[in-house]
Amino acid sequence: MPQDVITLHALAQELADLLVGGRIDRITQPEKDEVCFYVRAKGANRCLVVSANPNAPRMHLTTTKKDNPYAAPAFLMHLRRHLAGGMIQSLEVLNYDRIVRLSILGRNEMHDTVSVYLYVELMGRYSNLIVVDQEGRITDALRHIPPAEDQLRAVLPHLSYHLPPRGKISPEDGEAIADYLSAYTGGDLAKYLFGGVAGMVNVTARELVRRAGLEEANQALSPMQIAQLSNQVLAAYHAYDGTDYMPCYAQNEQGEYVDYYVYPYPSTGYRMHSAASLNEAANLCHEAKDKITRLKSNGKHIATVIGNAIKKQEKLLAVAEQKICDCQDNEKLRICGELLTANIYRLHKGDVVAKVYDYYHDRDVDIAMDATLSPQDNAQSYYKRYAKQKRTLQVAEKQVVEYRANIDYLLSVKAAFDLAEDVKDLTEIEQELVQNGFLPTPRTTQKVRRQPPGEFDVYTVGGYEILRGKNNLQNERLTFHTAKENDLWLHVKAAHGSHVVVQTGGEALPDAVLVAAAEIAAYNSDLRQNAKVEVDYTLRKHVKHHPSKKSGMVLYTEFRTITVSPKGHIKDETN
């Protein structure tokens, strides 16, 4: 994201126009590094989201709602105590850096009117939210930074707040920029500009060089060229007040949101789409990235648990299969014991080999003996080894069935994890792993909010509702509690994926609806990337629980198969 001072300055000006004079009605903290301020301003309710996530720091208006934790974090309580009910007096970028200050007029415990400042630092891994009183002392911060030799400043309660040091040229100082550019002698001009002007990022520097018509520059600039590029920097910084202001966002060939800009950046090579405001563009790009980032972050330990569990079951399976292999010839031990018993009168203690007739195969054979044991004890030794291997074989065969079922189940969990769309999906998968013994039951003395069951994805096609389970717990509930006996049930053939149910009410299903349901089942499976996928379908009454009793694992009969191309249909919309 081009979260540089050029973009942030315009974004802050937009926010100031919308929020200054507004009252902070409510504050929430849905994530450990994200705070939402609900502001009533200019006759409208708006939600300002501020995130200090090191991988995606952001600040913009949003309409996305997130669930809040049961217990309010300490920093949230501090914000509520000092900022809730306050009036936003100003919102501005400071120090020509990615730092925004909100000046808020509120009341203290004595009901005296006081000014409180919220500093939002959007600087990658140094991102932070810091509350400062009217004397300039820090009252609290989202991240405390203790004094250290490798730290430029400390951020702790009761310390004075200081802006991070700035060593680059202000993007508003045209004369200093011109002096800096006059020292350019060649090389990558965009990189040179990026290295000297405060709050600049490489993608913006390249676009400014392009707009100045200096892409080919590779030697000292003329006074006219210096003026052109300096003017572009100044115009970009004040884009919000200029005629070129055209908020937009970029998408790649896959339709993913990439960046947002104060005006189109053709130099990026991405497709540009105009937006009603820079806040709207920022919301589109940041929400998409934040969703992916949160899923990766929150799901990291779940992915590790699933991967380790699969490896463990595979190792156990290999051991059990090796035992079966080792015990395959156990019948030979019984025959040896029987042949020694049949020839006991010919054998003596001290013999190391018994030469006997094998009447099973009509031949003479040599049987090894323990010279320290009597012939009778040698025969019993063979019988005991036979009995032990027979028991081992029986146990190992059961283990192979169990371990293969566990691996199959875990692969289905992995498929659901790969298809997860939000944190709720991950929470249900984690709950499922706990229920099936692959994760320990969490021990906590804190009261935990009981999460309601996740909702199925719903599609409406040709007047019929198509329901999809997003994980094994939902699949179980959809198939055996929600679906009626005569509803149509679909699942990708010989692979892992979602259970899909078409609520038919016992009616004959149009071909178009069947195809759409099969496409949804194919898209939400391991085989999503395949061009063609086989999908089985049958009536719900022909679907039974799997003998393993694992959530979402089923057996089904009397099915037919349809071949379709995977397609992600639009949820809750008639096609």
pLDDT tens profile 135-152: 999 999 999 999 876 667
Residues of the domain holding 23: 5-141
Average pLDDT in the 44-59 region?
Answer: 92
DSSP state of 4: S
The reply to whether 571 falls in a domain is: no
pLDDT tens profile 347-363: 999 999 999 999 988 99
Strand boundaries in 393-511, DSSP class E: 457-461, 464-468, 488-492, 500-502
pLDDT at 452: 57
The reply to whether 277 falls in a domain is: yes
pLDDT at 574: 38
pLDDT at 445: 47
Q: What residue has token string 């094994």?
A: 472
Greatest Cα-to-Cα distance within the chain, rounded to the nearest angstrom: 118
Q: Check whether residue 372 and residue 476 sit in a common domain.
A: no
Q: Check whether residue 553 and residue 487 sit in a common domain.
A: yes
pLDDT at 443: 63
The reply to whether 474 falls in a domain is: yes
pLDDT at 567: 93
User: Which residues, other chains included, contact 304 with Cβ-Cβ below 8 Å and sequence gap of 6+?
Assistant: none
* End position of a domain, from candidates 281, 309, 332: 281
Q: Are 372 and 316 in contact (CB under 8 A)?
A: no
Give the whole-angstrom CA distance, residue 513 versus residue 517: 6
pLDDT tens profile 450-505: 555 678 999 999 999 999 999 999 999 999 999 999 999 999 999 999 999 999 97
Average pLDDT in the 2-16 region?
Answer: 89
Q: Is 329 exposed, middle or buried (0-12, 13-18, 19+ CB in 10 A)?
A: exposed
Give the whole-angstrom CA distance, residue 492 versus residue 512: 18
pLDDT at 252: 86
Q: Check whether residue 213 and residue 275 sit in a common domain.
A: yes
Q: Check whether residue 314 and residue 439 sit in a common domain.
A: yes
**Tokens (6 digits) for 304:** 């590790």
pLDDT at 217: 87
Average pLDDT in the 429-447 region?
Answer: 76
Give the whole-angstrom CA distance, residue 210 versus residue 340: 95
Which range has the worst mean pLDDT, 109-118, 126-135, 280-289, 445-454? 445-454
Q: Check whether residue 111 and residue 203 sit in a common domain.
A: no
Q: Check whether residue 256 and residue 321 sit in a common domain.
A: no
pLDDT tens profile 255-270: 788 899 999 999 999 9
Give the whole-angstrom CA distance, residue 422 versus residue 415: 15
* End position of a domain, from candidates 436, 452, 468: 452
Q: Check whether residue 232 and residue 364 sit in a common domain.
A: no
Q: Check whether residue 126 and residue 201 sit in a common domain.
A: no
**Tokens (6 digits) for 211:** 């707009």
The model's pTM is 0.67
pLDDT at 300: 83
Q: Are 356 and 367 in contact (CB under 8 A)?
A: yes
The reply to whether 574 falls in a domain is: no
Residue 35 pLDDT level (bands cut at 50, 70, 90)? very high
Q: Check whether residue 405 and residue 330 sit in a common domain.
A: yes
CA 211 to chain centre: 38
Share of the chain above pLDDT 90, in %: 71
Q: Check whether residue 97 and residue 114 sit in a common domain.
A: yes
The reply to whether 327 falls in a domain is: yes
Q: How many domains does the chain have?
A: 4
* End position of a domain, from candidates 122, 141, 160: 141
Q: Check whether residue 489 and residue 447 sit in a common domain.
A: no
pLDDT at 2: 54
The reply to whether 149 falls in a domain is: no
Q: Are 535 and 518 in contact (CB under 8 A)?
A: yes
H-only helix segments in 465-554: 472-477, 511-523
Residue 444 pLDDT level (bands cut at 50, 70, 90)? low
**Tokens (6 digits) for 138:** 């820090």
Q: Check whether residue 339 and residue 446 sit in a common domain.
A: yes
pLDDT at 575: 38
Other Cβ atoms less than 10 A from the Cβ of 426: the count is 21
Residue 107 pLDDT level (bands cut at 50, 70, 90)? confident
The reply to whether 68 falls in a domain is: yes
pLDDT tens profile 69-103: 888 999 999 999 999 999 999 999 998 889 999 99
The reply to whether 352 falls in a domain is: yes
Please provide the average confidence, as pLDDT, over all residues in the chain.
90
pLDDT at 68: 85
> Is residue 116 scored above 50 in pLDDT?
yes
**Tokens (6 digits) for 287:** 């929400």
